[in-house]
């Protein structure tokens, strides 16, 4: 509402400033003729002005005041439009990010993170630019209408010629450049994602890049996306700005032609000077307004594809279970049960789990083994509520996990993956991951570190829990990163700990230390492990062997060694 009001007021100020041109130039060139006008004569008598010369100063002041007011209002309109557009942009970016974070796990697995990062960092910016340029286009249209009305009042024929000539020229340019702007916009939207992807892959694998001398390869991958992106952006800038120079030249030619024509009429050039001055000022206002409107349209067309991508992210559905108010975590009292669970990612894909039935008692240590593709990780993703069964149910203490119980159940689970994500922050902040620094409970942090057998290492450091770990924990060893991951899980005070091949990347000695840390945890904790090596599950209460998405065998380590041929084969291969 404020912006639209400013548009109208600014347009009125433009009319006033242009309307003041004629009497101002007239009083300079032919003061007697101006003084003879009835309105001017009446105002002069009211102000006590008796001669034409006395009109010069008042009209000069009126003209200057009108010009200053118009400029101030245009500046205020620019400030309001910018504030509105970029304020909306902040809300837009936050909403895209929020909806993305709330998407189910299977959505994140299916998409490339480069697409999301590119959308939030670059394409949302393009969408904000579209909003800003839309406001600019509306402002230009209102100002153009006001300038047109003012010029029509001054001289209808000349005004129609000027506005018609410039309008037709810009219309022709718009028709010619429309498709090229759209093609460039599609190229920009595509290559922005590829540039982010190249950066992520090159920097994410920097150790291999340095070791194998792959810098030229990744520079070439980056260049193949970045160069077309820059060219498309440059082309759009050129298409947007280049008509200005041709139109300025055209305006000068038009004014020269009009000056010649008017000078041939009665009264000569002196009588035509006020009209020419008004037209020159009108063209000076008209051309920038037309160029501004055209540039805004060109920017909107060039960013159309990025806007479409942003809208698609804004239309991501919000899963009902994720948006429910967080309840207190469920407390596992008896058991977790898979009731004939079947799962597949979509109707066209094969069944990953096909009739899985399994019961896990509270406080037990359960190891999951099986060949690649047997369903181990999917089973634990279902148990954690990251995936939902296609058929069957996950039942905790006799009640299915669904709806509001899903968030409460997830609050009871802590996860230690194979690759621990560590932020470039302090050890304390990484243990209390996601907790604001001022809200971290250091007593819990130290207790969790003690249980994870990382406290001695941390407290031997000069900065103790305030030491920074570096990006992705680069300053720590593999075993130290894993034990910080365990400490993070323990800080959460969860009742179920899930270790998804958490020791598979460690050497035997380090793995033994991490397993000792796990073995020493409270027996009230239910611990589930996906194992890469059979030695990892040797001390588990129960080992579950999966094959084809089903339980192929289960029992203690010794029982499976005695009864399962495939288990003995895995043991033989490992040894």
pLDDT digits (tens, 9 = 90+) for 362-408: 888 898 988 888 888 889 889 988 888 999 999 988 888 887 788 88
Percentage of the chain surpassing pLDDT 90?
2
Pairing of strands 542-547, 550-555: antiparallel
Q: What is the pLDDT of residues 146-197, one digit of tens each?
A: 777 777 776 676 677 777 777 788 888 888 888 888 888 888 888 888 888 8
Asked if pLDDT for residue 270 goes beyond 70, the answer is no
Does some domain include residue 95?
A: yes
- pLDDT for residue 210: 76
| Angle, in degrees to the nearest 10, between helices 56-101 and 124-154 | 160
Domain that holds residue 254: 81-314
> What's the rounded Cα separation, in Å, for the pair 100 and 119?
11
| Full 3-state SS string of 131-187 | HHHHHHHHHHHHHHHHHHHHHHHHCHHHHHHHHHHHHHHHHHHHHHHHHHHHHHHHH
Percentage of the chain surpassing pLDDT 70?
76
> What's the rounded Cα separation, in Å, for the pair 18 and 386?
66
Q: What is the pLDDT of residues 93-134, one digit of tens each?
A: 888 888 888 887 877 777 777 777 777 777 777 778 887 788
Q: What is the pLDDT of residues 338-364, one digit of tens each?
A: 999 999 888 888 888 888 899 999 888
Does some domain include residue 258?
A: yes
Average pLDDT over residues 325-330: 65
Q: What is the pLDDT of residues 290-322, one digit of tens each?
A: 787 888 888 888 888 888 888 888 888 777 655
Does some domain include residue 530?
A: no
Asked if pLDDT for residue 526 goes beyond 60, the answer is yes
Name the region of 523 (left: φ>0; alpha: ψ -120 to 50; beta: rest).
alpha
Does some domain include residue 352?
A: no
Residue 552, SS3 per DSSP = strand
Average pLDDT over residues 46-75: 69
Asked if pLDDT for residue 59 goes beyond 70, the answer is no
Biggest distance spanned by C-alpha atoms of the chain: 123
Does some domain include residue 274?
A: yes
> What's the rounded Cα separation, in Å, for the pair 557 and 109?
33
> What's the rounded Cα separation, in Å, for the pair 305 and 143?
29
- pLDDT for residue 417: 81
- Averaged pLDDT of the chain: 77
Asked if pLDDT for residue 61 goes beyond 70, the answer is yes
DSSP lists the bridge partners of residue 496 as 413, 526
Q: What angle do CA 118, 121, 122 make, to 5 degrees?
A: 70
- pLDDT for residue 46: 65
> What's the rounded Cα separation, in Å, for the pair 337 and 472?
35
Cα 307–chain centre separation: 12
DSSP letter at 325? P
Q: For CA atoms 546, 547, 551, 552, give the dihedral sign.
A: negative
- pLDDT for residue 134: 80
Neighbouring C-beta atoms of residue 219, cutoff 10 Å: 13
pTM of the model: 0.66
Residue with more model confidence, 559 or 53: 559
- Residues constituting the chain: 575
Pairing of strands 542-547, 526-530: unpaired
DSSP letter at 468? B
- pLDDT for residue 20: 54
**CATH code, 119:** 1.20.1560.10
- pLDDT for residue 338: 92
Residue with more model confidence, 73 or 445: 445
Sheet of strand 550-555: strand arrangement: 413-416, 496-500, 526-530, 365-369, 542-547, 550-555
Average pLDDT over residues 48-60: 64
> What's the rounded Cα separation, in Å, for the pair 516 and 250?
84
Does some domain include residue 394?
A: no
List Cα–Cα distances, 346 to 106, 220, 354, in angstroms: 10, 37, 14
- pLDDT for residue 17: 56
Does some domain include residue 96?
A: yes
Residue with more model confidence, 46 or 437: 437
Among the ranges given (27-41, 71-85, 328-342, 496-510), the one the predictor scored with the smallest mean pLDDT: 27-41
Does some domain include residue 518?
A: no
Q: How many domains does the chain have?
A: 1
Residue with more model confidence, 18 or 306: 306
């Amino acid at each position: 509402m404020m912006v639209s009001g400013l548009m109208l007021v600014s347009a009125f100020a433009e009319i006033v400033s242009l309307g003041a041109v004629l009497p101002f130039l007239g009083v300079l060139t032919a003061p007697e003729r101006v003084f003879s006008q009835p309105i001017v004569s009446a105002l002069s008598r009211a102000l006590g002005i008796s001669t034409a010369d006395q009109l010069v100063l008042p009209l000069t002041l009126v003209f200057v005041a009108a010009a200053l007011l118009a400029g101030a209002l245009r500046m205020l309109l620019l400030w309001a439009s910018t504030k509105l557009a970029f304020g909306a942009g902040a809300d837009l970016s936050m909403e895209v990010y929020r909806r993305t974070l709330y998407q189910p796990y299977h959505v994140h697995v299916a998409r490339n993170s480069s697409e999301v990062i590119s959308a939030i960092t670059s394409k949302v910016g393009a969408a904000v630019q579209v909003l800003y340029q839309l406001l600019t286009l509306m402002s230009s249209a209102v100002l153009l209408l006001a300038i047109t009305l003012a010029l029509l009042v001054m001289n209808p024929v000349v005004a129609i010629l000027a506005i018609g000539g410039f309008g037709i020229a810009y219309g022709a340019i718009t028709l010619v450049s429309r498709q090229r702007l759209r093609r460039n916009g599609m190229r920009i939207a595509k290559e922005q994602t590829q540039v982010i992807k190249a950066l992520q892959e090159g920097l994410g694998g920097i150790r291999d890049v340095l070791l194998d001398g792959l810098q030229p390869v990744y520079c070439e991958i980056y260049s193949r996306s970045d160069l077309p992106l820059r060219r498309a952006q440059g082309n759009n800038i050129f298409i947007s700005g280049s008509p200005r120079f041709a139109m300025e030249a055209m305006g000068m030619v038009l004014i020269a032609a009009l000056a010649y024509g008017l000078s041939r009429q009665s009264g000569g050039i002196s009588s035509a000077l006020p009209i020419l001055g008004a037209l020159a000022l009108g063209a000076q206002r008209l051309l920038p307004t037309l160029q501004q409107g055209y540039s805004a349209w060109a920017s909107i067309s060039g960013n159309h594809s990025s806007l479409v991508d942003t809208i698609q992210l804004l239309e991501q559905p919000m899963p009902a279970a994720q948006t429910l108010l967080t309840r207190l975590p469920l407390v596992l009292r008896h058991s977790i049960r898979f009731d004939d669970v079947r799962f597949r990612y979509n109707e066209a894909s094969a069944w990953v789990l096909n009739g899985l039935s399994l019961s896990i008692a509270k406080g037990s240590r359960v190891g999951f083994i099986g060949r690649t593709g047997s369903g181990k990780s999917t089973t634990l993703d279902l148990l954690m509520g990251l995936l939902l069964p296609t058929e069957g149910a996950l039942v905790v203490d006799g009640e299915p996990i669904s709806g509001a119980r899903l968030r409460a159940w997830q609050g009871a689970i802590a996860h230690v993956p194979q690759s621990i994500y560590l932020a470039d922050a302090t050890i304390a902040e990484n243990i209390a991951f996601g907790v604001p620094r001022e809200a971290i409970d250091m007593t819990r942090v130290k207790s969790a570190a003690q249980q994870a057998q990382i406290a001695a290492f941390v407290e031997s450091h000069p900065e103790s829990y305030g030491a920074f770990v570096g990006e992705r924990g680069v300053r720590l060893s593999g075993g130290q990163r894993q034990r910080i991951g365990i400490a993070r899980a323990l800080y959460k005070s969860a009742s179920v700990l899930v270790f998804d091949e958490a020791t598979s990347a460690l050497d035997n000695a380090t793995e033994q230390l991490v397993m000792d840390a796990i073995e020493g945890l409270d027996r009230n904790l239910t611990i589930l492990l996906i194992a890469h090596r059979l030695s990892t599950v040797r001390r588990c209460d129960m080992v579950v062997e999966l094959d084809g998405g089903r339980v192929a065998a289960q029992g203690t380590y010794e029982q499976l060694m005695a009864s399962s041929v495939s288990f003995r084969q895995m043991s033989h291969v490992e040894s």
